[in-house]
Structure 1
Amino acid sequence: MRSLFPDICTANLIESKDFYVSLFNFSVAFEIDWYIQLQSPQDEHLQIAFVAQENSSVPLAYQQKPQGVVITIEVEDVDAIHETAKKLNMKFVQKLRDEDWGQRHFMLADPNNLLVDVVQMIEPKPEFLKQHGLV
């Protein structure tokens, strides 16, 4: 396997690109009028792509609004990304918070109304580890 990335079928191709570029500094790896592939500046294997849902490359039965997906993006500084998201007036669906299992995170809705979970790993609470037999 050389890479793995989602192709999100969307009616919001440009808005999707703008969301991930402005918040996560993704760069455009490939772009044509019905398909955009983005990659992380830190690792070219971290990618996400968007295909126009009405394009003939998408089977007719699947040319619909995407749903049921949580896109988790682990970052080094979740607080900085949170501040950027606030400045960009993005749609927050979960406030910034610390979880017992070892994550500091918040959630946004992207232009496709998919959940984007922005995560920074932190130390899990000892009680959580003990409760789940992890110590």
Structure 2
Amino acid sequence: MHIISSAMSPNVDDVVASSNFFTTHLGFHESVAARGFVTLTRPDCADIVPVSRGSRVLPSSIRERLPTGVMVSLTVTDVAAEHERLCREGVPVTVPLRDEPWGERLFQLTDPNGIVVQFVEWVPPAGA
């Protein structure tokens, strides 16, 4: 198998709200927009394709569901600078910047549809 691209497609109630969040604050752009979905793209990560809950393009078994327990994780350089920038922009931080003992520095945001976005930078673990 040779994968040429990847995407995640969460069901959302407001496609426009997710698009505005990801394009305004996270540097994505709309590469395709149509009734009921939008493809949000960056050259350095997988696409995010919010789809309107109830859309007929979704399998009937998940058509009305909203995602739960799903997180978009973005590994970045200088996570502290990203945290500071997003705070300056007034983006609500769901989980503040913290260091985990296994070497993960992270913080989390939540988009208007409940999509959790985690920013991660790997650092030497405490005591290493």
Q: Give the TM-score band, short-chain normalised.
A: 0.7 to 0.9
Are the equivalent residues in 1 in contact too, given 2:8–2:46 (CA < 8 A)? no
Are 2:12 and 1:10 equivalent residues in the alignment?
yes
SS in 2 for 1:2: coil
Q: Per-residue deviation at 1:24?
A: 1.7
Are the equivalent residues in 2 in contact too, given 1:23–1:81 (CA < 8 A)? no
Are the equivalent residues in 2 in contact too, given 1:23–1:84 (CA < 8 A)? no
Are the equivalent residues in 1 in contact too, given 2:32–2:39 (CA < 8 A)? yes
Q: Which has the higher helix share?
A: 1
Mapped to 2, the partners of 1:79 and 1:12 lie a distance apart of 30
Q: Which residue of 2 aligns with 1:84?
A: 85
Residue 38 of structure 2 aligns to which amino acid in structure 1? I
Q: Per-residue deviation at 1:7?
A: 0.6
Q: Which residue of 2 aligns with 1:59?
A: 59
Q: TM-score, normalised by structure 1?
A: 0.81
SS in 2 for 1:60: coil
Q: TM-score, normalised by structure 2?
A: 0.85
Residue 3 of structure 1 aligns to which amino acid in structure 2? S
Q: Per-residue deviation at 1:59?
A: 2.8
Mapped to 1, the partners of 2:65 and 2:106 lie a distance apart of 29
Mapped to 2, the partners of 1:91 and 1:60 lie a distance apart of 34
Query: Alignment RMSD, CA only?
Result: 1.8
Which has the larger Rg?
A: 1
Gaps of 5+ in 2: none
Q: Per-residue deviation at 1:126?
A: 4.2
Mapped to 2, the partners of 1:24 and 1:75 lie a distance apart of 12
Work out the percentage of aligned pairs sharing the same amino acid.
Answer: 27
